[in-house]
Amino acid sequence: MPRKEGNKQLLTCSCGYKTGKMEGAVLKEKMVRGRDVEVVDKNIETLPKTNVECPKCHHREAFFWEVQTRAADEPATKFLRCEKCGHTWRDYN
């Protein structure tokens, strides 16, 4: 890759090799076409469910997951998402 050190222009390699010979240097990058990305419009929930009341719409089922948001010696925070309205809240119990 071209790099400037002081007022000198150098070609450098990730292995540490450097050269000041710039004449005849050609940079090439080969582009590889990857797969097309599939877009899914509907919300697919693969999380476990529990019976708990949503504080927003009072529906009785929600998805839940746990995240260690505090120190390792403290309990994880339980997040819940209402199955009906999508409202997300925390349960610290």
Q: Which of 29, 38, 41, 74 is catalytic?
A: 74
What residues contact residue 37 under an 8 Å CB cut-off, 6+ apart?
none
Q: Which of 41, 73, 83, 91 is catalytic?
A: 73
Cα pseudo-dihedral 79, 81, 87, 91, rounded to 10: -30
73 is catalytic: yes
91 is catalytic: no
Q: With contact defined as beta carbons under 8 Å apart, do 88 and 80 qualify?
A: yes
Distance CA 30, CA 34 (A): 13
Active site residues: 73-74
